[in-house]
Amino acid sequence: MGTIVTIDVYVDAGMPVDRLAAHVGRARSALHRADDVFSTWKADSPMSRLRRGEATVGQMPPEVAVVLDACRAARVLSDGWFDPWALPGGVDPTGYVKGWAAERALDALRMPDVAAAVVNAAGDIASFGGPAPGAPFRFAVVDPFDRTRLACVVEHTGALATSGTYERGQHLFDPRSRRATLAVASATVTGPELGMADALATALAVGGQDVLERIDALDGFEALVIGHDGARRSTSGFPWAPESVPSTVDPAA
């Protein structure tokens, strides 16, 4: 997937190291499996073969159809601002599959002896549990104008995805104009599942206000955009940490 993934696991101090290693090993295997199937950098991966027209979806591993169906759902929810079929080189579900893979790794950690876990795929986060019973996790959103500063802190257990060009440079494409574009400086989406949050954050980064309003109407998902002028707009239920609640923030609509 061309990125770094970190895993934090919260367990009882008495858990044997070999058992903890087995849990983390299953999570790593889920990530490696996703990379083997969906990498667009590996010429012999199933996704690369599909993009070149050398095989059909029916000839792919079963998770390819699952991911592409989810991408179709994200395309509908975003009003077409997320569209893996509109990218150069053929269908490319990378904007969804990174979050999906992190969720599969997280699922591998859902064991009775694991109280909480966080899978961080280059800043896109899947989590369950919390740092203490009844307490949500606290995650920072980087200031897109100064990566040494924080834009805000959110309190949320579940998924958090942020999209922009301040880390990787210009890599976002408008599926309508077929050109590289960025409507806002930063787009963050929280929700129950990271694959869809990742796709919606990508759509929000290129679609801006139109997508923010659509996310505001979705159950379970919230969003924040930071404009090129530094102005912040959010959905009504965005999970700000108390110290991060701005004195003024424009609503989604």
184 contacts 226 by C-beta, under 8 angstroms: yes
Contact 46, 109 (CB under 8 A): no
Distance CA 1, CA 123 (A): 14
User: Mind listing the pLDDT tens digit for each residue in 42-82?
Assistant: 999 999 999 999 999 999 999 999 999 999 999 999 999 99
User: Are 75 and 83 in contact, with CB atoms under 8 Å apart?
Assistant: yes
pTM score: 0.93
What is the C-alpha separation between 114 and 77, in angstroms, rounded? 33
- Measured between alpha carbons, how far apart are the two ends of the chain, in Å? 35
- Pair 52, 91: CB distance under 8 Å: no
pLDDT (tens digit per residue) in 109-134: 999 999 999 999 999 999 999 999 99
Indicate which CATH number applies to the domain containing 149.
3.10.520.10
For 226-232, what is the mean pLDDT? 95
Radius of gyration of the chain (CA): 18
On the question of pLDDT at 165 being above 90, the answer is: no
Find how far residue 90's CA is from the centre of its chain.
21
Q: Residue 157 sits in which domain range?
A: 5-251
Q: How far apart are CA 59 and CA 65, in angstroms?
A: 10
- Provide, rounded to the nearest whole percent, the portion of the chain with pLDDT above 90: 83
The whole-angstrom separation of Cα 149 and Cα 103 is: 28
Confidence band, pLDDT 50/70/90 cuts, at residue 13: confident
Assign 2 to helix, strand or coil.
coil
The domain tally of the chain equals: 1
Is a pLDDT exceeding 70 seen at residue 22?
Answer: yes
Which pLDDT tens digit goes with each residue over 136-151?
Answer: 999 999 999 998 999 9
pLDDT for the residue numbered 248 = 65
Looking at the chain, the number of H-run helices and the number of E-run strands are: 6, 12
Q: Which residue has the tokens 């077929």?
A: 178
Cβ atoms of 208 and 183 within 8 Å: the answer is yes
